[in-house]
Structure 1
């Protein structure tokens, strides 16, 4: 399975891509340096991200991609450095495309439930055993915002507890 490779112009674009990848089960990590001793890190479904201000950081990003990690690089894609980074990453795989989007995401399950995509993503993480704090961090939300989203999901589902909301979500996900 190929990892996602992106070169985006702004931090806001990177956040959008990272949120989607996190919903699809990718683990996001800041920085491009990989300290794992083994060469192939593709099994970890990890996406490394950060700004690429110079050639050394670009080299680290390309190396991370070559080792199997996904990368989301914040760099002006039309600058000379951005074009060079795009060209180098294109040697590893398709840039700007996530080839592993075959798995159903929380938003694809969401059509059967009266919850938003963000609420569905949080419920999916809770169903997978994560704490609310871990789910909030993975979805780039504050803990308070995550708790508000979960409370709104409970109300939309007509249940009293988060456990009941997770169970309703799990049943809908199984079909």
Structure 2
């Protein structure tokens, strides 16, 4: 059985990158800025290397595609609606799934971190974003304070942040306009 395809993320905003990179680091990936890879070995699948950075031109997009083909995880930040962005998404899609945190486009919208939160976590984060305390949010959602704190801790871990404030901000950024 072959190892799973390393993840490929195409982000339209650099503000989403820290959340993705923290999650990859937690999962055991070594992150490195830039897409040029060492010449020593072709297959990098076992190295768990994740490369990231901006993709301003077609030459950099080629480096991203080569890194993904060699088995590195990639986090590319670029205009996904431009010619380079569309071409890179199309090419990466041939290697495996392409995850995006915003802007539906040629590859369609993949599941974001927020999509993986359970409804209780989303409801609690919505209430915290509206200024409620954890205790008030727990009561409004008919949860004990202990359960609410546990759900929020799980949401922090899923979002790749350390504080509840960071979790609320990451949640709002990924969720987009109020549904």
TM normalised by structure 1 equals 0.56
CA distance in structure 2 between the partners assigned to 1:119 and 1:55 by the alignment = 36
In the alignment, which residue of structure 2 is the partner of 1:85? Answer: 88
What is the root-mean-square deviation in Å for CA atoms of aligned residues? 2.9
CA distance in structure 2 between the partners assigned to 1:118 and 1:46 by the alignment = 25
Aligned length: 112
Aligned partner of 2:27 among 24, 29, 37: 24
In the alignment, which residue of structure 2 is the partner of 1:126? Answer: none
How far 1:36 sits from its partner (Å)? 4.0
Contact 2:19–2:161 under 8 Å retained in 1 = no
Q: Mark the runs of 5 or more structure 1 residues left unpaired by the alignment.
A: 99-110, 122-138, 146-175
In the alignment, which residue of structure 2 is the partner of 1:7? Answer: 10
Alignment of 1:97-136 (within 5 A): 116=153
Runs of 4+ in 1 over 2 A off after TM superposition: 113-121
In the alignment, which residue of structure 1 is the partner of 2:133? Answer: none
TM normalised by structure 2 equals 0.54
